């Protein structure tokens, strides 16, 4: 009988992961912008960095193009503050074909939002089931 020793790559073990972590604001996917003054959120999607999309939203406010952005319209009409600290990645989505479905899902799940509609896929049977399940779950937990 022979005993065989298996050594892992020592360099990799000593150095660890050499990849730099990507900040969430640099990722693409489904994002949320919260109002600092009121409990409302905007849910959106982007294939680019969510920070770039946020800056575009703020440019609409700065240059009085509020009709182009729900966030800008909310901030302007209510004199509310919105800044980068209120930007959050909800779901990292790298496959563009999934963005519409995940955006609609997150909008429907959010109770207090600035969005004008339920997203690109507003009337899906899947979302109706999710809403039913959430209502049923909250009743079992002593909720609504």
* More confident position, 83 or 12: 83
The set of residues, in sequence order, having a beta carbon less than 8 Å from that of 58 and lying 6+ positions away, is: 71, 72, 82
Here the tokens at position 100 are 């519409």
Q: How far apart are CA 50 and CA 81, in angstroms?
A: 19
Domain range 23-140, CATH architecture: 3-Layer(aba) Sandwich (3.40)
Per-residue pLDDT for 66 more than 60? yes
Q: What is the dihedral of CA 121, 122, 124, 127, to 10 degrees?
A: 110
| Domains of the chain by residue range | 23-140
Q: Which of 9-23, 79-93, 118-132 has the lowest mean pLDDT?
A: 118-132
More confident residue, 14 or 94: 94
CA-nearest of 2, 23, 89, 21 to 53 is 89
């Amino acid at each position: 009988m022979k005993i065989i020793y298996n050594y892992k790559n020592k360099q990799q073990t000593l150095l660890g992961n050499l990849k730099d972590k990507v900040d969430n604001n640099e990722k693409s996917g489904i994002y949320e912008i919260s109002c600092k003054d009121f409990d409302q959120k905007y849910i959106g999607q982007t294939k680019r960095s969510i920070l770039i999309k946020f800056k575009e939203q703020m440019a609409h406010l700065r240059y009085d193009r509020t009709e182009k952005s729900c966030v800008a319209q909310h901030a302007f009409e209510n004199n509310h503050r919105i800044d980068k600290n209120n930007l959050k990645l909800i779901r990292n989505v790298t496959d563009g074909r999934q963005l519409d479905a995940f955006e609609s899902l997150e909008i429907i799940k959010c109770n207090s939002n600035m969005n004008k509609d339920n997203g690109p896929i507003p009337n899906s049977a899947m979302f109706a089931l999710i809403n039913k399940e959430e209502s049923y779950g909250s009743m079992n937990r002593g909720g609504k």
